[in-house]
Amino acid sequence: VRFPPVKIIYGPVSFIHYWGLFTLRTTKKIFLDDPLFRYRCKEVGKNLQTSFKVPLTTPNLHIYIGNNCSINGYTTFSAAAINTDPTLIIGSNTTIGYEVVISAAERVEIGNNCLIADRVFIADNSGHPINPTLRLKKAKVPKSEISPVTIGDNVWLGYQSVILRGVTIGNNSIIGANSVVTKDVPANVIFAGNPAKL
């Protein structure tokens, strides 16, 4: 059964529905989600902006956020349970887009004034052991497959790009959309492709 969208009925219903949801989401964010996220961080600078969906985090991750940062919805900041103090550092004036996933087993550092587009994936570890026998045993990632990621200042990571373990990206560089970065990127360049190259 389908009801026709009669304007005189569904106009007011649409208005009430929109503003009702907006009020509920805003209230939840102000009094629950945002304070909980800040509580889980080791340090948060001034003027942090979050959307209705604050980042999903794991308790063992040490998070440091600079001033004037913006973190959009459905992001995930996770830590592999390998080291005692996995660390994520986000510099000042940095924007993180929707559905960004950052996995830190040791250290991921993002500089100041960076633009991290939607659906970017950053990891300092392989996620699962490369050795098939270890994977069958459900073993943790070995330390030999963990290497910090460092992203310099004023870097732009394009939509759905992937930054893998051990990578350093120099200041002012751009990573093209859908690129897979497997090696260091110098400053002031554009890298793109799979694998990404100059």
| Active-site annotation, residues | 128
Residues shown for the chain:
198
Residue 179 to residues 5, 29, 152, 191, 197, Cα–Cα distance (Å): 44, 33, 17, 8, 9
**Residue for token pair 């859908």:** 178
- DSSP output for 58-82: -TT-EEEE-TT-EE-TT-EEEE-TT
Closest C-alpha among 121, 99, 117, 101 to residue 167: 121
